[in-house]
Amino acid sequence: MTAPSSPTPPASARRSHNTRNLLLAAIAVVVVGGVAIGGYGLYYLFLSPAGPAAVASSAPMIPPGAGVAAPASLDGTWNVTTSLGSMADFSASWAGYRVQEQLVGVGANTAVGRTPLVSGSMTLTGAVIDNVSITADLTALKSSDPNRDNQLRRQAIDTDQFPTAAFTTAGPIDLGTLPTEGQTVSVVANGTLTLHGVAKNVAITLTALRQGGIIAVTGTMPVVFADYGFQGPNSFSVLSVDNNGIMELHLLFTHA
């Protein structure tokens, strides 16, 4: 006896089935594509938090709840401290970069990386600041994605070979009058920036605020990569990186 044949699904059911298959295939392509690029594009598309604000848009930050008594005299040496503040809200001492990039499947993105391993000092005599010297450990730079951080170890600023950046002032900075507590003051500091093994004369805009025995300083300065002998990193997940960026810093000083 011949078995009865199965009824042929109506055309509308076949179309629905085909549409569902196409949708599942498209989702599979997206997932596989995301794995193929290390999850970099998908991470930014769905999970990446907004980057921290540029220091130019925020005043120097005294860490919430931090209190250090003012010294008997403000004159003397002030050292960068890493024991105050937090990198969670970027109220600690840090230095870093801000660069525009184009990501595969995402488009324009602002890459921001910062290192909390900063040391240095300055001297204050009356209203004159002098002997400013700051060093940043670039091997501790962290951004919102570890893949980018790993690229910088071997490309661009090449932190494996050039682990530090340094800035020293060229001479004294006369404020005219010493700002009172809580008063913000901005100056332009001329000096030398050493990055990627290249030393260049630069001018950096600094803004300072004192509260008790803490002086908070922010700074920002444009950096053209070619001036320091490198270019932006290349990666299968990065279409392009601007040939320039912004160096940023937030430093907390306490009296020695």
30 vs 95, higher pLDDT = 95
81 has a pLDDT exceeding 90:
yes
φ, ψ at 174 (rounded to 5°): -95, 115
* CA–CA distance, 53 with 30 (Å, rounded to integer): 31
Read off the pLDDT band of 140 (50, 70, 90).
very high
The pLDDT assigned to 138 comes to 97
7 vs 244, higher pLDDT = 244
Contact 195, 227 (CB under 8 A): no
Per-residue b/e over 234-244, b at no fewer than 16 CB within 10 Å? ebebbeebeee
Most confident residue range from 12-26, 115-129, 170-184 = 115-129
The predicted model scores a pTM of 0.78
pLDDT digits (tens, 9 = 90+) for 30-43: 333 333 333 333 33
CA 202 to chain centre: 20
pLDDT digits (tens, 9 = 90+) for 186-237: 999 999 999 999 999 999 999 999 999 999 999 999 999 999 999 877 665 6
* CA–CA distance, 130 with 109 (Å, rounded to integer): 38
3-state secondary structure 97-115: EEEEEEECCCEEEEEEEEE
Taking residues 69-94, report their average pLDDT.
Answer: 96
Cβ neighbors of 129 (< 8 A, separation 6 or more) are 122, 123, 169, 172, 173, 175, 187
Read off the pLDDT band of 7 (50, 70, 90).
low
57 has a pLDDT exceeding 50:
yes
In the chain, where the domains are located = 11-47, 53-255
Read off the pLDDT band of 21 (50, 70, 90).
low
Task: Calculate the average pLDDT of the chain.
Answer: 82
Per-residue b/e over 211-230, b at no fewer than 16 CB within 10 Å? bebbbbbbbbbebebeebeb
* CA–CA distance, 97 with 105 (Å, rounded to integer): 23
SS3 content of the chain, % helix, strand, coil (to 5): 20, 40, 40
Terminal CA-CA length for the chain: 102
Q: Where are the alpha helices (DSSP H) in 37-119?
A: 40-42
DSSP labels for 124-145? EETTEEEEEEEEEEGGG-B-S-
Taking residues 83-90, report their average pLDDT.
Answer: 94
Most confident residue range from 84-93, 100-109, 140-149 = 84-93
Read off the pLDDT band of 24 (50, 70, 90).
very low
1 has a pLDDT exceeding 80:
no
Read off the pLDDT band of 148 (50, 70, 90).
confident
The pLDDT assigned to 41 comes to 38
| CATH 2.40.128.110 describes domain 53-255 | yes
183 vs 56, higher pLDDT = 183
Number of continuous H segments (helices) and E segments (strands) in the chain: 3, 12
